[in-house]
Structure 1
Amino acid sequence: MATTNLDNHIPTTTREAPHSRGASRLASLSGEGALDVLSRARQLEAQGRRVAHLEIGEPQFAPAPHIVEAAQRALAEGDARYGPPAGLPALRGAIVDALARRGVSASAESLLVTPGAKTAVFYAILATVNPGDEVLLPDPGFPIYASMTRFVGATPVGYTLDVDDIASKITPRTRVICLNAPNNPTGGTFTQRDVDRLGDLVLQHDLLVVSDEIYGRIVFDDPRGFTPSIASLPGLLDRTILVDGFSKAYAMTGYRLGYALLPRWLIERATVLAVNGHTCTPPFVQRAGVAALTGPQDAVHAMVAELKRRRDLIVAKLRGVPGVDCPTPAGAFYAFPDVSGALRASGLTIRQLADRLLTERGVALLPGTGFGAGGATGLRISFAGVADDVTTGIDAVADFFTALAA
């Protein structure tokens, strides 16, 4: 008879052999709540309900034609065999040039191309963090950072996007600071002054940095068009693993293409780790990445402009709504309104509130508890989806909270 081992989330049998139980470390991994909410939303749609999807952080914009054509051309030419584990020289060269435009002096020999930025983050943590270490990471923040940290036997320690708070969390056990700016789920970011102070902390305490810059080009109010990178500071390049990818700015989510810029002392062993993990990233996908970086950037600029319009719409719609405080996100494509006033007035939990928005108003969004304890009074609203979903969804959210306060 089949049963379920709830501790390890692994199917077992009542008369199982010891070898069939799976590794206990799997219990430390957690998933992404967005996929669970999406599944529930799809069930409602199957029943004929209309759902506005504000839960998934995936741009519903098409990759630029020259990117698609590059991938198709590579496949037509048979470029679907094994490639160099660290990545194609053409792509690594294009990444070096792209980083230089952001003030980061990289060398192609220090780059590792990966199947998605998430893989690069995982490798970075595997390569730098030991059991018993502490990893400082944003809270609220992308849940996979904490999941990966626990998986390697280390302790995640949350911080808000405030340098003083980060400084207060550093202990003798701190090994790595994980940065993500602009941030998922808040859209918050660091100023150049903040980044300078973070660099001082890293040098003072002899730390390493994993800087996830996947949203680095999706910024709305910085005239440079990108957020400052800690890897651009003197003395920090050799202490930083800079992670980026093509999913967000280039709308290439299904291509699964990312990279890590690693310290010189780490690149050789990290490449061996990659050989053990995925062998290589598909060459035809990498050639699409070359086209993305070296071709016209009009599609990126147009997408960011449209996302800024949506951001402004959401902030304006929620301004003055009872029980809701919506800070203006500086980048990425998320708003993270604080609804603590509505929670106090209604007696609902944040999960109950998100559930009612889905079942009563047909709006799928995420409760902030899925992003850490610091998100307990927030809702993540993704405005990267279909434009009509954003418009109708935010109207429904505003109406819901107004009615809740009546």
Structure 2
Amino acid sequence: MMDASTITSSPFRSAERLAAIGVSEILKITALANDLKRQGQNVIVLGAGEPDFDTPQHVKDAAARALAAGVTKYTTLDGTPELKAAIATKFRRDNGLEYTTAEITVSAGAKQVLYNAMMASLGSGDEVIIPTPFWVSYSDIVAIAGGKPVLVPCSEANGFRLTAEDLERAITPRTRWVFLNSPSNPSGTAYTEAQYRPLLDVLLRHPHVWLAVDDIYEHIIYDDFCFVTPAAIEPGLKARTLTINGVSKAYAMTGWRIGYAAGPRPLIEAMAVVQSQSTSCPCSISQAAAVQALNGPQDIVQERRALFEARRDLVVAALNAINGISCRVPDGAFYTFASCGGLLGRTTPDGKLIGSDKDFAEYLLRAVGVAVVPGSAFGLAPYFRISYATSVSDLEDACRRIASACSVLS
């Protein structure tokens, strides 16, 4: 009999598909900042992409009623009939789009919706066009599904928007999807109907290319901006468009983990197969709460939108007052994406060179206890993202600290 004490184990070997994929830079920065806070340091975290507001009371009450009624069992695989009906009503009410419940899917967050779609549709080496700057998970989801992310830089001169010319150049016979996110994380850029139109005309000429539209910040828009979504603008693309949304941002329900999408039935059915072998149904209580969020009063969404707009104006003005920083006014979401290009080449008081946006972000955290996310994490440098989904007092303090840190660079 072999002596167990002499048996050695092989070291863990991760799957090849994970070789170039890591934990989100946003999560790493937020974890580091929170660790410093636990050590007693005075750190203001401006990295997290979630509202600081609580979930509306009528939504929490719906969850409590569901819990009391014993709604604690497995539900239909990709969404209860009640939630799918509420989502269909939302698309009709807000977007002028008609979908049957068979064309709707519900998952544990909009991220899982996108993951399911890529796993259900991508073959090895299939290409996905991603305008940059982009939400950090887009490219990794494509890669882990076996696809090839094709990153297309979008200049600040064009408001960080994708141009029709750049889209046309990026499309190849291997292109399977194009991602569009409006309003955008991280830039806050949104597309008007006129700005979408040239892009949609390009896609009409390439029938093998499908469109994934991330509308998660739909209700957080400013300055009388009129939100539109591509499937409503161009009916000719509806049969190859997946429109993704969720309750996380508009209703302050990030932890409830409910995302949804609508699209062609064959795609939705394929996505259900992926979900059936991963998470199965979303949380039953969260689904009941989401029904109330979508069907209930919407006033609180607009009230909070106005508060976000005031915070945006505060942060943009403060950043633009700092020598070396310039910040475009975002159209929506709750982020600023400011350039720190004017600070590159400068030196910190302890002699360290600010050679990149990552250096600048590390300097802010180390020197003045402000956690921001470097633009390089989103595929475009030299910028940094601030989430202004936090209190006005914290934002004012953070902006003062950033100004102070910049003033002593030489």
Which residue number in structure 1 is paired with residue 358 of structure 2? 351
For the residues of structure 2 that align with 1:361 and 1:24, how far apart are their CA atoms? 39
Provide closer, same or farther for how the CA distance between residues 401 and 292 of structure 1 changes in structure 2, counting only shifts above 3 A. same
**CA-to-partner distance for each residue in 1:333-387, whole Å, 9 max, x for gaps?**
1001011111134441222211111111111111111111x2x200110001233
Residue number in structure 1 paired with 2:262: 261
Query: Using the alignment, how far apart are the partners of 1:368 and 1:295 within structure 2?
Result: 37
Query: Which of the residues 119, 124, 143 maps onto 2:117?
Result: 124
SS across alignment from 1:336: strand
Aligned position for 1:29: 21
Task: Give the secondary-structure state (helix, strand or coil) at the position aligned to 2:409.
Answer: helix
Stretch of structure 1 that moved more, 338-347 or 326-335? 338-347
| 1:201 lines up with 2:216 in the alignment | no
Q: CA deviation at 1:173?
A: 1.9
**8 A Cα contact 1:86 1:112, kept in partner:** yes
Equivalent in the alignment of 2:391: 386
Give the AA of the match of 1:360: A
Moved more, 213-222 or 309-318: 213-222
Q: Using the TM superposition, give the Cα deviation of residue 17 of structure 1 relative to its aligned residue in structure 2, in angstroms.
A: 4.0
Deviation at 1:15, TM superposition (A): 5.5
Measured in 2, the distance between the counterparts of 1:173 and 1:269 equals: 20
Equivalenced residue count is 387
Instruction: Quote the offset at 1:265 in angstroms.
Output: 2.6
Question: 1:270 corresponds to which residue?
Answer: 271
2:106 aligned partner, one-letter code: V
- Counterpart residue type for residue 404 of structure 1: L
Residue equivalent to 2:218: 216
TM-superposed CA distance for 1:394, in Å, is 1.6
Change over 3 Å in CA distance of 1:47–1:228 after alignment to 2: same
Structure 1 residues 301-336: Cα deviation after superposition (integer angstroms, max 9, x where no partner): 111111100100111112242111100011111001
Q: 1:146-165 CA deviation, whole Å, 9 max, x = no partner?
A: 00111122211112222232
CA contact (8 A) 2:183 2:332 kept: yes
Alignment match, 1:368: 375
> d(CA) in 1 for partners of 2:260 and 2:220?
18
C-alpha displacement of 1:89: 1.2
CA-CA distance at 1:111 after TM superposition: 0.4
Offset at residue 246 of structure 1 (A): 0.8
- 1:398 is aligned to 2:410: no
When normalised by structure 2's length, the TM-score is: 0.90
Q: Secondary structure at the match of 2:385?
A: strand
Superposition CA RMSD, Å: 1.7
Structure 2: segments with no counterpart, 5+ residues? 1-6, 155-160, 348-352
Indicate the larger mover: 300-309 or 390-399: 390-399
1:333 & 1:29 partners in 2: Cα distance? 26
**Contact kept? 1:368, 1:377, Cα under 8 Å:** yes
1:79 aligns with 2:79: no
Q: Tell me by how many angstroms 1:403 deviates.
A: 3.1
Relative to the length of structure 1, the TM-score reads 0.91
What is the identity, as a one-letter code, of the residue corresponding to 2:312? R
In structure 2, C-alpha distance between the alignment counterparts of 1:200 and 1:52, rounded to whole Å? 44
Tell me which amino acid in the other structure corresponds to 1:305. A
Deviation at 1:250, TM superposition (A): 0.5
Rounded to whole Å, the distance in 1 between the matches of 2:135 and 2:15 is: 25
The farther-off stretch of 286-295 and 214-223 is 214-223
Instruction: In structure 1, list runs of 5 or more residues that go unmatched.
Output: 1-13
Given that residues 181 and 213 in structure 1 are in contact (C-alpha distance below 8 angstroms), is that contact kept between their aligned partners in structure 2? yes
- Select between 385-394 and 334-343 the one with higher mean Cα deviation: 385-394
Instruction: Using the aligned pairs only, state the percent identity.
Output: 37
Where do 1:285-296 residues align within 5 Å? Answer: 285-296=286-297
What SS is found at the alignment partner of 2:325? coil
Q: Aligned-pair distance for 1:299?
A: 1.7
In structure 2, how many angstroms separate the alpha carbons of the residues matched to 1:398 and 1:162? Answer: 32
Task: From the superposition, tell whether residues 30 and 222 of structure 1 become closer, same or farther in structure 2 (CA, over 3 Å).
Answer: farther
Q: Deviations over 1:259-282 (max 9, x none)?
A: 121212322222222211222112
Aligned partner letter, 2:210: L
The 1-side partners of 2:98 and 2:311 are apart by: 34
CA distance in 2 between counterparts of 1:322 and 1:165 reads: 32
1:179-222 Cα deviation digits (max 9, x unpaired): 11111111112121122222212121121011111111111123
2:83 maps to 91
Name the CA distance, whole Å, in 1 between partners of 2:325 and 2:345.
11
* 1-structure distance, mates of 2:14, 2:377: 25
- Taking structure 1 as reference, are residues 42 and 221 closer, same or farther at Cα in structure 2, changes over 3 Å only? same
State the 1:16 CA deviation: 4.2
